[in-house]
């Protein structure tokens, strides 16, 4: 039997994975993960010359628990923090998807855009489950690629947002983000702030999407009732928020195993004695499945610490593969 692999470009992924679809796909994947229907070894990180790294994220999704088909695969992704200054995404790489019957590779796709979409979709899933329904003001800390996707995702699940506050390391970049976002989202007021504390002071939602190694958001700065998506730091040596912010919050995560091994904010707070491991109240999949409580009151500060897991990539990649076959997209490469 002739074997073929579909190769999908960023343009294909953009067409095949709109944000609204990605949110539902990621939600089902997170429920499956927390139900034990996934095999997820921890991400391996390879130093390829400071500050650059390559991550290897293998995984397998099993059928059931909202998954239409089993699949397994691997994401190979390079993280080059200086790329945005050169006009490239900080995340580059590829996802290879395999089918479970014979173990054949069936698809390969660019990982950069898919990663950005699924990461924002995961934050949207947590926001829909944890944030106050009437949330009207969003603070975006960081003004890069993830900020753009996160704004779209937040508006998908909280159309009540009418004000966006942006704070970035470089004001010119934050202003460029604000101008572009205003064109894409008419009816939403977007304001640029020079400091994080002012931006988050009266926000209902906060998304931190920076590459900072040291905390940019402190625990005393957010008001009761705020929901936070902490997204940018993906290795133990980096932290976007301080220990006080972790301790003040009702803390939810994507996957406990990776949280305790790789979430620098949580690791530091445990090591300092500010919190115990039980401060992680639940995986978001447990909340979505009704197995754990989420927000308890309007005054709770809820925090979703997102690391990103291979299950999200595989679920989105599988969707792209099925849609590409149905719509005749991508390039077929013979494996003979």
Q: How far is CA 275 from the centre of its chain?
A: 24
Per-residue pLDDT band at 76 (split at 50, 70, 90): very high
Mean pLDDT of the chain: 93
b/e for 278-291, b at 16 or more Cβ within 10 A? eebbbbbbbbbbee
Query: Cβ contacts of residue 112 below 8 Å, gap of 6+?
Result: 10, 77, 89, 91, 92, 93
How long, in residues, is the chain?
A: 336
Q: Which of 16-25, 54-63, 118-127, 199-208 has the lowest mean pLDDT?
A: 54-63
Identify the pLDDT of residue 2.
53
Residues 119, 125, 131, 135, CA torsion sign: positive
pLDDT single digits (tens) 151-187: 999 999 999 999 999 999 899 999 999 999 999 999 9
First to last CA, the chain: 9
Pick the more confident residue, 256 or 87. Answer: 256
* Alpha helix segments (H runs only) across the chain: 10-16, 19-34, 111-130, 145-157, 171-184, 196-200, 243-248, 256-262, 264-271, 284-288, 310-327
Surface-to-core class of residue 10, CB atoms within 10 Å of its CB (0-12 exposed, 13-18 middle, 19+ buried): middle
Q: How far is CA 273 from the centre of its chain?
A: 28
The share of the chain scoring above pLDDT 90, in percent, equals 80
Q: Does residue 275 have a pLDDT over 60?
A: yes
Distances (CA, A) of 115 to 66, 193, 275, 300, 316: 21, 27, 30, 30, 9
Q: How many CB atoms lie within 10 A of CB 162?
A: 11
Identify the pLDDT of residue 194.
94
Half-sphere exposure for 48 (CA within 13 Å, toward CB): 13
Distance CA 266, CA 227 (A): 17
Identify the pLDDT of residue 50.
87
Distance CA 254, CA 33 (A): 9
Q: Does residue 67 have a pLDDT over 60?
A: no
Per-residue pLDDT band at 68 (split at 50, 70, 90): low
Query: Which pTM does this prediction carry?
Result: 0.94
For residues 8 and 323, the answer to whether their CB atoms sit within 8 Å is no
Distance CA 283, CA 304 (A): 9
Q: Which of 7-16, 65-74, 78-87 has the lowest mean pLDDT?
A: 65-74
Name the CA radius of gyration of the chain, rounded.
19
Pick the more confident residue, 7 or 86. Answer: 7
pLDDT single digits (tens) 123-139: 999 999 999 999 999 99
SS3 43: coil
Distance CA 173, CA 178 (A): 9
Tokens of 30: 């997170």
Q: Does residue 3 have a pLDDT over 90?
A: no
Identify the pLDDT of residue 91.
79
Distance CA 167, CA 138 (A): 11
Tokens of 43: 């991400």
Residue 304, beta-bridge partner list: 229, 252
pLDDT single digits (tens) 34-53: 999 999 999 898 899 988 98
pLDDT single digits (tens) 241-252: 999 999 999 999
């Amino acid at each position: 039997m002739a074997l073929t692999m579909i190769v999908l470009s960023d343009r294909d992924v953009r067409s095949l994975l709109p944000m609204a679809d990605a949110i539902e796909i990621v939600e089902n994947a997170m429920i499956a993960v927390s139900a034990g229907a996934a095999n997820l070894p921890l991400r391996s990180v390879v130093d390829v010359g400071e500050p650059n790294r390559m991550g290897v994220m293998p995984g397998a999704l099993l059928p059931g628990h909202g998954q239409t088909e089993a699949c397994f695969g691997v994401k190979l992704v390079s993280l080059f923090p200086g790329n945005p200054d050169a006009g490239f995404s900080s995340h580059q790489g590829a996802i290879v998807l395999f089918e479970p019957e014979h173990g054949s590779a069936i698809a390969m796709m660019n990982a950069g855009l898919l990663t950005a979409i699924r990461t924002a979709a995961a934050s949207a899933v947590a926001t829909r489950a944890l944030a106050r329904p009437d949330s009207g003001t969003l603070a975006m800390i960081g003004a890069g690629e993830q900020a753009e996707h996160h704004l779209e995702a937040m508006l998908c699940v909280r159309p009540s947002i009418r004000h966006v506050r942006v704070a970035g390391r470089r004001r010119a970049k934050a202003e460029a983000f604000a101008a572009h976002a205003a064109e894409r989202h008419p009816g939403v007021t977007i304001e640029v702030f020079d400091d994080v504390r002012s931006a988050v002071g009266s926000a209902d939602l906060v998304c931190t999407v920076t590459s900072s190694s040291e905390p940019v958001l402190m625990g005393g700065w957010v008001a009761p009732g705020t929901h936070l998506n902490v997204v940018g730091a993906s290795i133990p040596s980096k932290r976007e928020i301080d220990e006080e912010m972790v301790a003040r919050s009702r803390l939810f995560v994507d996957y406990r195993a990776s949280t305790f091994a790789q979430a620098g904010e949580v690791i530091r707070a445990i090591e300092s004695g500010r919190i115990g491991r039980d401060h992680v109240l639940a995986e978001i999949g447990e909340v979505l499945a009704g197995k754990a409580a989420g927000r308890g009151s309007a005054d709770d500060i809820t925090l979703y610490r997102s690391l990103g897991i291979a299950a999200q990539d595989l679920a989105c990649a599988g969707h792209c593969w099925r849609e590409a076959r149905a719509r005749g997209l991508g390039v077929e490469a013979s494996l003979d």
